[in-house]
């Protein structure tokens, strides 16, 4: 994902919405919440990043955490009911919820970029 400069990160598109940096930090925090819920654990103590490098690291670390959680998930954990940021969901529903949350906010982040004349990086599969 391409990030804008700090000046843009301080400008919400619409005052009730999050500015871009808050938006990206929100994605990271919810990633941690969903992926901790998959293992019925609490998320780690999360940082309160302010700078662009800190926010980028927070997001990257959240994906690394989720990658590790998903790598080791068991069939029983996929079938169990978990308390998630959405509601009580089984493991499959939880992962779908995490994906939908991420895709939803990625779309919003891309809108920020386009409004400022930038383009998001292509998806890498
Ligand atoms: Ni959200």
Q: Measure 94 CA to ligand 1 centroid, in angstroms.
A: 14
pLDDT tens-digit series, residues 89-125: 999 999 999 999 999 999 988 988 888 888 888 888 7
Paired tokens of 107: 């779309």
> Exposure of 37 by Cβ count < 10 A (0-12 exposed, 13-18 middle, 19+ buried)?
buried
- Whether residue 31 is contained in a domain is answered as yes
The secondary element (H helix, E strand) that includes residue 114 is helix 91-115
Q: Measure 7 CA to ligand 1 centroid, in angstroms.
A: 23
- Whether residue 123 is contained in a domain is answered as no
pLDDT tens-digit series, residues 2-38: 445 444 454 555 666 788 899 999 999 999 999 999 9
Paired tokens of 118: 């930038």
Number of alpha helices (DSSP H) and beta strands (DSSP E) in the chain: 5, 2
Report the candidate in 15, 27, 11 with the shortest Cα–Cα distance to residue 98: 27
Q: Measure 101 CA to ligand 1 centroid, in angstroms.
A: 6
- Whether residue 12 is contained in a domain is answered as yes
- Whether residue 74 is contained in a domain is answered as yes
Domain of residue 43, residue span: 6-115
Number of domains in the chain: 1
pLDDT tens-digit series, residues 72-90: 999 999 999 999 988 999 9
In CATH, what number is assigned to the domain containing residue 83?
1.20.120.450
Q: Measure 18 CA to ligand 1 centroid, in angstroms.
A: 10
């Amino acid at each position: 994902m391409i990030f804008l400069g700090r000046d843009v990160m301080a400008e919400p598109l619409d005052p009730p919405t999050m500015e871009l940096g808050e938006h990206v930090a929100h994605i990271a925090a919810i990633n941690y919440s969903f992926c901790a819920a998959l293992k019925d654990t609490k998320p780690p103590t999360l940082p309160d990043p302010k700078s662009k490098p800190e926010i980028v690291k927070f997001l990257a670390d959240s994906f690394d955490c989720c990658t590790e959680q998903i790598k080791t998930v068991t069939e029983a954990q996929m079938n169990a009911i978990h308390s998630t940021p959405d509601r009580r969901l089984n493991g499959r529903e939880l992962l779908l919820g995490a994906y939908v949350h991420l895709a939803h906010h990625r779309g919003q982040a891309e809108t920020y970029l386009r409004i400022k004349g930038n383009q998001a990086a292509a998806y890498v599969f």
